Structure 1
Amino acid sequence: MKNHILKIAFLFFIISTVSCKNSKTEEIPVDIIKKDNSLVEITSSQFENSKMELGKISKQLFTETIKTNGYIDVPPANRAKVSAIIGGYVKKSPLLVGDRVTKGQLLLTIENPDFIEIQQNYLEISEKLTYLKSEYNRQKILFDENITSKKNYLKAESDYKSSVALLNGLAAKLKMININPLSVKAGKITSIVPIYAPISGSVTAVYTNVGEFMNASDVLLEIINNEHKHLELIVFEKEILKIREKQPILFKIPESSSEKYKAKVFLVGKSIDKNRTVRVHGHLENEDVPFIVGMFVEAKIITNSVEKQALPIETVLEKDGEYFVLVLREKNNETYKFEKIKVEIGEKNEDWIEILDNNLENIQILTKGAFLPLEKG
């Protein structure tokens, strides 16, 4: 019985020992081994699983830029504030903000008894003019034959020409309020006048309601044609001398998207406003993008571009104010061996960092995932 118990205890000891050894083996990381302070060894599986990439130094554009801001705008000819020539009560106003209109389309109508008085005056002068013209011609014949006095002739001439001028003035006034003088002559008198769209575009504001009295100086609604949108940028006086026409512009709409868009400097203002800034007008490279007039933009005007030797910014590692890259020294089916090399850097931008060392050209460098080996080492 005693021998049987000893056998069971020995068997349990062996099973426990094997189990502990297996558990310990699984916990040992073997993916990355640092040979010394500068050499890093990475297994092929680690390289693939971490999606690392190799690359070389390449020439990239580094730009000098001026940061500014502004907004999306349209030319003055594409923006209209509609008002009536003569005040009146709004009779009809069917449009809403966002409605599309075409040039010459009816926008609203205004009613005022004064419109009737203008048409009546036009008719009276028109009828009176027939008599005055006849009298003027008669007096001219009599004066030429020395039958009447010069005074009578000059009075008839003055009355006729004054009435012609008054009639033409009333006709112009009728046309300004969109009433056809020929219709008035035909007896069609109205107290309601139409207001037409001066440009094609979209209604961006409506300032009136049906039944409301609007003065001649009041704006009834606004229309914007956004087919020719542009950038209106604000640049400080100290930087304006660096800006020239046709310089590239990169901009974004920070409130709605991080995407970058392109434009070019088209015009540079010739005067400085009270805030010591100058307006810079830029033309969009792609006008099909559905920008909304008035959108705030952040922009960079590129004033100079220079090609320099560079690496992706994530390739270069920084430690204690010094910069390093991992250079491939050996590769086989199982491992990649990299050497940590100190480098001198120059300029940086969002994507690239300039490398001042000339001895790294055409050498393969770990360009993606370079921080992983150092973290695990």
Structure 2
Amino acid sequence: MNRFILSCLILFLAGCASKSADEDAEKTTAETPTPDQILVSPEQQKAMNLKIGPAAQTTVSDEVKATGTVDVPPQYMASVSPLINGVIKSVNVLPGQRIGKGATLATLQSLDFIQMQQDYLQAVSQLAYQQAELQRQKTLNAEEVGAKKRLQQAEADYGSNRALVSSLALKLQTLGTSVETLSKGKLSPVMRITSPVAGYVTASNIHLGQQVATADVLFEVMDQNHKHLELSVFENDAFKIKNGQAILLNDPKLGTETLRGRVYLVGKAFSGDARTITIHGHVDNERLEARLIPGMFLNARILTGSRTATTLPEDAVVRKSQHGFIYVATGQARTYRRIPVKLGQVENGRIEIIPQKPVDLNNVVVKGAYLLEAQLTKGDEAEE
């Protein structure tokens, strides 16, 4: 009898122990989060100051990314070469110097230039004699005492020399010499090399005593009051670009303020192995345009339209390049699940998210996501 009672007691105690173990196992399973979940303690919850909120449907701009440089139109750039061979007598400007249109950049000493002035004066003097001779022959011919052949010869000589005088005068004016001053007998020993545009001297390639020829580029001058953007867009995005679309430039070199512009011209042919098309843009704000330097490299965004997208505050997204993670409340106390998302446009402090699988976005951690990420990955970092 005692043995029977003892056996029953042992079976009863074993059953209680088994039931307790099962309850503990169920409790542990319920409280142990999966690898993509995190359970925070009440103290952590309070310290993190997590805030929960829903995602929103907002209007975002579609955009095309482009790269390029700052440039100026060709009519505002000049390469200055001498129009006659000679030796540099003086240099009057330095690179970076602001000059006006027609300013003297340098002077050139040339025997050919001096000879051209001499030829002009001699031709003018000869023209005066030939004009008088022509008038005399006309008078004699009218009185029928002169030969008609002499009149014809006088007319030919006068016409030929008049063409020579006109040609020499035009050449000297092109070289910057005043024929009115030259007609007074004042020959110039040097020729002025002048700038055809106003702007900044960007290059000077000469020095005193240098022998130069008409093929040499002595100076380069650029007018920077008419800058524009030369951007390149890949073939896949080219069809999205239209005249008048907004261009945004966010670059630390330009300061914190966004520089805005407009698409002015769209290229009609692709170029290079990269298959890109050229976009010509103008800047809206002249004050900000002054910060641009010709040749500066740019990263730009061209706004091509708008659409409705699912967005969250930027603080709600843990960014990993073009992808990231968000955290949503699971419904269990202080438990949050990490959800991978693809990232889209960023506007006005909100970022577009595209979840990789269906998920309820009504209980998203909109503040404190980075704290949860740090807590979740703390063990992984320690193992590394």
Q: Which residue of 2 aligns with 1:209?
A: 207
Q: Report SS of the residue matched to 1:189.
A: coil
Give matches, 1:82-161, under 5 Å. 82-144=80-142, 146-161=144-159
C-alpha distance after superposition, 1:173-194 (max 9, x if no partner): 1111111111111111122111
The whole-number CA distance in structure 2 between the counterparts of 1:51 and 1:108 is 72
Q: Which amino acid aligns with 1:154?
A: Q
The whole-number CA distance in structure 1 between the counterparts of 2:245 and 2:51 is 35
Pairing 1:191–2:184 present: no
| Contact 2:318 2:373 survives alignment (8 Å) | no
Of 76, 79, 83 in structure 1, the residue corresponding to residue 74 of structure 2 is 76
Q: Which residue of 1 aligns with 2:297?
A: 296
The whole-number CA distance in structure 2 between the counterparts of 1:145 and 1:364 is 118
Pairing 1:307–2:308 present: yes
| Contact 2:330 2:336 survives alignment (8 Å) | no
Give matches, 1:131-280, under 5 Å. 131-144=129-142, 146-252=144-250, 256=253, 261-273=259-271, 275=273, 276-280=275-279
Aligned pair count reads 330
RMSD of aligned C-alpha atoms?
3.7
Shift of 1:242: 2.6
| Contact 1:345 1:353 survives alignment (8 Å) | no
The whole-number CA distance in structure 2 between the counterparts of 1:302 and 1:202 is 34
Q: Which amino acid aligns with 2:65?
A: K
* Same amino acid, percent of matched pairs: 32
Structure 1 residue ranges without an equivalent (≥5):
1-33, 330-336
Relative distance call for 1:317 and 1:195 in structure 2 (3 A) is closer
| Contact 2:197 2:223 survives alignment (8 Å) | yes
| Contact 2:80 2:218 survives alignment (8 Å) | yes
Relative distance call for 1:322 and 1:73 in structure 2 (3 A) is closer
The whole-number CA distance in structure 1 between the counterparts of 2:270 and 2:316 is 45
The whole-number CA distance in structure 1 between the counterparts of 2:181 and 2:324 is 88
Relative distance call for 1:53 and 1:121 in structure 2 (3 A) is farther
The whole-number CA distance in structure 2 between the counterparts of 1:246 and 1:126 is 59
Normalised to the residue count of structure 2, the TM-score between the two structures is 0.72
Structure 2 residue ranges without an equivalent (≥5):
1-29, 377-384
Moved more, 61-70 or 224-233: 61-70
| Contact 1:245 1:268 survives alignment (8 Å) | yes
Q: Report SS of the residue matched to 1:228.
A: coil
Q: Which amino acid aligns with 1:286?
A: N
Moved more, 217-226 or 342-351: 342-351
The whole-number CA distance in structure 1 between the counterparts of 2:334 and 2:233 is 48
The whole-number CA distance in structure 1 between the counterparts of 2:45 and 2:242 is 53
Q: Which residue of 2 aligns with 1:333?
A: none
Q: Which residue of 1 aligns with 2:285?
A: 286
Shift of 1:142: 3.8
Q: Which amino acid aligns with 2:285?
A: N
Q: Which amino acid aligns with 1:301?
A: I
Q: Which amino acid aligns with 1:353?
A: E
